[in-house]
Homo-oligomer: A and B are copies of this chain.
Amino acid sequence: MPVRADAQRNAARVLAAARRAVASTGLDVSYHEIAREAGVGVGTVYRRYPERDQLMAAVLSDILTELIDTAHQALDCDDAWEGFSLLFTSLALRTAQNVGLSGSLDQHGGPAVAQQRHELLDLTRRVIERAQNQGRLRRDLAWQDVLRLTGAPAVQGCVLGLEPDPAHGHHLVLTVLLDGLQTDGAKVA
């Protein structure tokens, strides 16, 4: 007995909804919320992912796969700085879209996800160090520190309550950050 057509369709819907829900709410999003977002009953979500970790592993793996792909692209760039800013931008954007899951990623997902995470970390380190070796990226920061900076564009809110304007905001912080990360002063000024 093969997988039923509607089951397959709903599986896809649930995963997509889970990604959206996790992105906006965080890893502690409720099953009810995901079900609502997916347009299915809670029962369906629980049937598909009896354990919460299974669901989170699926979501995280989805995200990590995309990023690993980007990291490979970055390493393929001849220009190390171009590669670096590509990966940095992707990481920053992904982090911004997933505020709320930051930090706790290593807690969930089991060995498969841990493996992917490790792979992405390694690729990222290589992209950063290559840019530093080519003299384009400032050397006074460890690669972990550079990585940490990808979180910066995630929040544009300020104590003064300006309207958020996420799209413009992300781009803005990225521009200034990348300018600050370069060794030479080749910026618009």
Contact = CB atoms under 8 A, between A and B. Distances in A.
Given A138-B189, A185-B184, A144 B162 contact: yes
Contact of A157 (B151, B180, B185): B151
A53 interface: no
- Copies of this chain in the oligomer: 2
Question: Which of A99, A141, A151, A178 counts the most chain B CB atoms within 10 A?
Answer: A151
A149 interface: yes
Interface string A71-109: 000000000000000000001001100110111111100
Nearest to A180: B180
Given A102-B155, A155-B99, A157-B102, A162 B179 contact: no
A163 to B, nearest CB: 8
The A interface, classified by DSSP as helix, strand, loop or mixed, is helix
Given A149-B176, A172-B145, A180-B176, A158 B189 contact: no
Interface string A168-184: 01001101111111011
A97 to B, nearest CB: 9
Contacts of A172: 141, 145, 148-149
Interface string A137-166: 011110011011111111111111111110
Interface residues of A, number: 59
A67 interface: yes
A126 B23 CA distance: 37
A153 B148 CA distance: 10
